[in-house]
Structure 1
Amino acid sequence: MIYRQWIQQQRVYPIVYIRLKDIPSDIRTMVISLEDDGFYRHHGVEWVAIRRAFERNMKLRKPFYGGSTITQQLSRTLFLWPGKSYIRKYLEFLIALEMELVLPKKRILELYLNTAEWGPGIFGIQQGSFYHYHVPVWMLSKDQKMRLLVILSSPVKYRPYDFGKLKILYQRYSYLKSIFGE
């Protein structure tokens, strides 16, 4: 957030913070299924996913894949800069491990949903819901929730209403739809 506002000189909208209990339970379940299905089993870092991403990156000869957990994504959003580098990934590990020592999983999920980027300068799921659908998060239809969640992989680049043109977003949407129905 700070990087977007101060370094990139981008407008950052104020976060509309909502408690985890006020975020629909299907959104909480969907985001974990989509972003970090081992969320309740790991301690901040999913080492197997990191190793797999590292091996893929070595073949590509550049950092492209990340393998970040929700806790790592939160640490990046709060304390680090966007972009891909091995230095940032190392710092992300350290911060995520420390966060898991001092914060319960529910708090990490609440912070993540309230600080994740949902569009250019749009942080927090409530603000993302207003930005893309002009309604509070609890008024979203199931389809709107799924469409909003699929853009988390690159929310500045993608929009929830034109994902049909992009294979990766359609795959993420189809995955959610296969688990959670229509």
Structure 2
Amino acid sequence: MQGLLRGAVRGLAIALLLLLFWQAVLLTQVVWWSRFDPGSTSFMRQRLAELRKTDPKAELRQRWVAYENISVHLKRAVVAAEDDRFLDHRGFDWEGIQRALERNAERGRLAAGGSTISQQLAKNLFLSSSRSWLRKGQEAVLTLMIETTWEKRRILEVYLNVAEWGNGVFGAEAAARHYYGRPASSLGPAEAARLAVMLPNPRRYENEFGPRLAAHAARVQRRMIHSQVP
């Protein structure tokens, strides 16, 4: 019996050490990306693999641009649509989470998530689109790492460059050229608001931008003039 107990304790200790080692590896990557731009993300690799199932030569459309070369209208629109307390929180918007829980309870289904830009970035960089408590826990740890080691400007810069905006379309520059035929630096308020409201489901809204979503874009455009960005 004692031998079994010692074996269980030893196994638990090894598992804990491996977990801590893996978190150290992730932290090293997070710190590296605070200074150097990611070449790809977990989401990008996942989408590319899906595209190549039907077209082995498929490629993603993505081009990195510096923060100052992205329209301020898009920055404000994304903050207004996705995380209006972006500059005030440290990774988690507890008020937003509470509102999301209340809306979900009212509708009887998972209709709102309350994720911040930092949480979405952590997921896009390292994780997958699957849902589980284990993945949410890892997302929370990564969010804390990013918020601790990155400035808000860097968080928004990376997010705008890696966010998915359509089938195989990633980043503000590729999105601006795909939908409007010009660079991200030249986007106006209406165009920016339209792109911002696509973020929750970009592959669907790429082809189904109906009146309901257009009305949401109009609301975001009215709010974005008050959005604070780094």
State TM-score, norm by structure 2: 0.68
The structure number with the bigger radius of gyration is 2
In 1, Cα distance between the equivalents of 2:136 and 2:105? 15
Query: Quick check: 1:142 aligned with 2:186?
Result: no
Q: Who is 2:216 aligned against? A: 172
The 3-state SS of whatever aligns with 2:165 is strand
Q: Who is 1:109 aligned against? A: 156
Aligned partners of 1:147 and 1:173 also within 8 Å = yes
If asked which structure has higher relative contact order (CA below 8 Å, sep 6+), I would say: 2
**AA partner of residue 136 (structure 1):** P
RMSD: 2.5
- CA offset digits 1:98-127 (Å, max 9, x no partner): 100010000000000000001011110001
Aligned partners of 1:12 and 1:122 also within 8 Å = no
Query: Quick check: 1:2 aligned with 2:45?
Result: yes
Q: Who is 2:123 aligned against? A: 76
Q: Who is 1:92 aligned against? A: 139
| Unaligned runs of at least 5 residues, structure 1 | none
| Unaligned runs of at least 5 residues, structure 2 | 1-43, 226-230
In 2, Cα distance between the equivalents of 1:88 and 1:56? 23
In 2, Cα distance between the equivalents of 1:129 and 1:24? 10
Q: Who is 1:46 aligned against? A: 93
Q: Who is 1:122 aligned against? A: 169
Deviates further, 81-90 or 64-73? 81-90
Q: Who is 2:15 aligned against? A: none
In 2, Cα distance between the equivalents of 1:54 and 1:92? 18
In 1, Cα distance between the equivalents of 2:73 and 2:116? 19
Report how many aligned residue pairs link the two structures. 178
Query: Quick check: 1:21 aligned with 2:68?
Result: yes
State TM-score, norm by structure 1: 0.84
In 1, Cα distance between the equivalents of 2:211 and 2:133? 28
Aligned partners of 2:71 and 2:186 also within 8 Å = no
Deviates further, 107-116 or 2-11? 2-11
What is the CA-CA distance between 1:48 and the residue it aligns to? 2.8
